Copies of this chain bind each other. A is one copy, B any other.
Amino acid sequence: MELEEELKMSEIVDAHHRATLNVIFTGAWMSERMNSYLKPHGISEQQFNILRILRGQKGNALNLQQISERMVHKMSNTTRLVEKLRLKGFIDRQVCPNNRRKVDISILPLGLAHLEKVSLDVDKANKTIESHLTKAEATSLALLLDKIRG
């Protein structure tokens, strides 16, 4: 649906301004969808994100700073998000022996299993959304988004 219609906008805006608003709006729209699919599984989008980041390390640990760098919201509080995942038994948290300022985080089998279960639903949801774009369009969209960030 057109952005103007969706937000009942009355003011006319130029192409660049429209793109900016649309990026913000569609990002939030997508994020809300993602969260709604994750909610029944008891984790938030950012917690899911952390689990995915850790899985990508194939068993190796990452410290909090390295996790933060890989997240959508760099300023979010990784300490507290990680603590929630730890309480659920999804990750392990060990003070780094070489440098006791650092904390090594790694995903546990329970976390991997949960991630796999959740991913099934998320993938299903993504497929529905993405059926609106051809592969070429998806590629083109990603390119334009990379470009807008400079």
Contacts and interface: CB of A to CB of B under 8 A. Distances in A.
A29 B69 contact: no
Interface of A: 1-3, 6-11, 14-20, 22-32, 34, 52, 56-57, 69-73, 126-127, 129-130, 132-133, 135, 137-142, 144-150
20 contacts: A1-B150, A3-B146, A7-B70, A9-B56, A10-B56, A11-B56, A14-B135, A15-B135, A16-B135, A20-B126, A20-B130, A23-B23, A24-B27, A24-B31, A25-B145, A26-B27, A26-B148, A133-B147, A137-B144, A141-B144
One complex includes copies of this chain to the number of: 2
A142 B4 CA distance: 11
B28 A73 contact: yes
Nearest to A8: B70
Majority SS at the chain A contact face: helix
